[in-house]
């Protein structure tokens, strides 16, 4: 018995751990039997996928409520399972589930990393974007103001063009909802829940009557960012710090909100003021 809880979890349900293992070993023997006819080996592979599918579902369940459909997660997880089946070495003496779990989880995590992007962006730019994000936060701290692209370029060791390109590419990134939970273990604490909202500011602010109904349609966070930027005159970096997201994220949210407001202003007739 290996100490892997995952394995116990998924196989003790009905068939029993031993039966699953025996069946798995048989199928692997068939699959690796070079003299066996092609159809027989395909069938063995198929059988292994079905046998271990509960493991994939178990892994996918860990990532529920993160804004991605469970079925999609099972699907990408199954890719991990297929890879594991093809690479599994019977001689190693470890259980297949022990071997496959990291691969399946890796595949699901990769899905999250890639899927956050609205447009497929080259990996180089994705990495650059992350570097800009962290270097930007550091420099904002040490300088006490937002850094210039040149300062960022010096810090990261790339050109000013790269920085601009990185910032441009970040417009293609859409993070998953802040409202999504961070896992199923410790309650439903979401990032949004952790962000305080000081509503009194909204009441004190003089909002022009024509946009008030439009503002009311925004969600709380968008409204807050808009108010901080245009009524409290905070910079994007300050807002980022206050709300607890990156400056680039603030920039994206702000642009999107303005876009929405403009669209609604154009479509509705604003009440005469």
Binding site for another protein (CB under 8 A): 136, 145-150, 152, 160, 163-164, 167-168, 208, 210-211, 229-230, 233, 235-237, 247, 251, 254-255, 258, 261-262, 265, 273
Smaller CB distance to another protein: residue 44 or 226?
A: 226
Q: Which 3 state secondary structure label does DSSP give 117?
A: strand
CA-nearest of 121, 122, 146 to 132 is 146
Give the C-alpha distances (Å, rounded to integers) separating 134 from 124, 129, 243, 247: 16, 9, 16, 10
Least separation in angstroms between residue 145's CB and another protein is 6
Dihedral in degrees, nearest 10, Cα atoms 246, 252, 253, 259: 170
Rg (CA), the chain: 26
Long-range Cβ pairs for the range 204-207 (8 Å, 24+): 205/231
Least separation in angstroms between residue 194's CB and another protein is 25
Pairwise CA distance, residues 29 & 27, whole Å: 5
Smaller CB distance to another protein: residue 138 or 182?
A: 138
Least separation in angstroms between residue 149's CB and another protein is 4
Q: Which 3 state secondary structure label does DSSP give 203?
A: helix
- Residue 190 has φ and ψ, to the nearest 5°, of -105, 160
Q: Which 3 state secondary structure label does DSSP give 37?
A: coil
Least separation in angstroms between residue 84's CB and another protein is 43
Smaller CB distance to another protein: residue 109 or 145?
A: 145
Smaller CB distance to another protein: residue 13 or 164?
A: 164
Least separation in angstroms between residue 216's CB and another protein is 14
Dihedral in degrees, nearest 10, Cα atoms 220, 226, 227, 229: 140
CA-nearest of 68, 99, 63 to 81 is 99
Least separation in angstroms between residue 42's CB and another protein is 50
Least separation in angstroms between residue 123's CB and another protein is 22
Smaller CB distance to another protein: residue 121 or 254?
A: 254
Smaller CB distance to another protein: residue 188 or 272?
A: 272
Smaller CB distance to another protein: residue 50 or 262?
A: 262
């Amino acid at each position: 018995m290996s100490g892997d809880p995952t394995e116990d979890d998924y196989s003790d349900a009905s068939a029993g751990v031993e039966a699953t293992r025996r069946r798995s070993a048989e199928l692997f023997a068939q699959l690796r039997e070079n003299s066996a006819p092609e159809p027989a080996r395909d069938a063995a592979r198929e059988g292994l996928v079905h046998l271990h599918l509960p493991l994939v579902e178990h892994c996918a369940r860990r990532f529920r409520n993160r804004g991605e459909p469970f079925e999609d997660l099972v699907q990408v997880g199954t890719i991990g399972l297929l890879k594991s089946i093809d690479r599994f070495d019977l001689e190693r003496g470890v259980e297949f589930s022990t071997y496959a779990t990291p691969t399946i989880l890796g595949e699901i995590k990769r899905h999250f990393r890639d899927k956050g992007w609205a447009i497929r962006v080259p990996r180089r730019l994705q990495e650059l974007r992350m570097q800009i994000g962290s270097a930007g936060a550091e420099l904002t701290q040490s300088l006490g103001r937002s850094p210039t692209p040149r300062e960022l370029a010096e810090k990261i060791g790339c050109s000013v063009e790269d920085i601009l390109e990185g910032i441009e590419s970040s417009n293609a990134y859409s993070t998953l909802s802040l409202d999504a939970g961070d896992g199923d273990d410790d309650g439903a604490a979401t990032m949004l829940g952790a962000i305080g909202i000081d509503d009194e500011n909204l009441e004190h602010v003089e909002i022009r009557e024509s946009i008030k109904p439009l503002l009311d349609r925004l969600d709380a966070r968008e409204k807050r960012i808009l108010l901080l930027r245009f009524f409290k005159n905070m910079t994007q970096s300050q807002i980022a710090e206050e709300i607890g997201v990156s400056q680039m994220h603030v920039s994206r949210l702000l642009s999107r909100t303005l876009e929405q407001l403009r669209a609604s202003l154009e479509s509705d007739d604003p009440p005469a003021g």
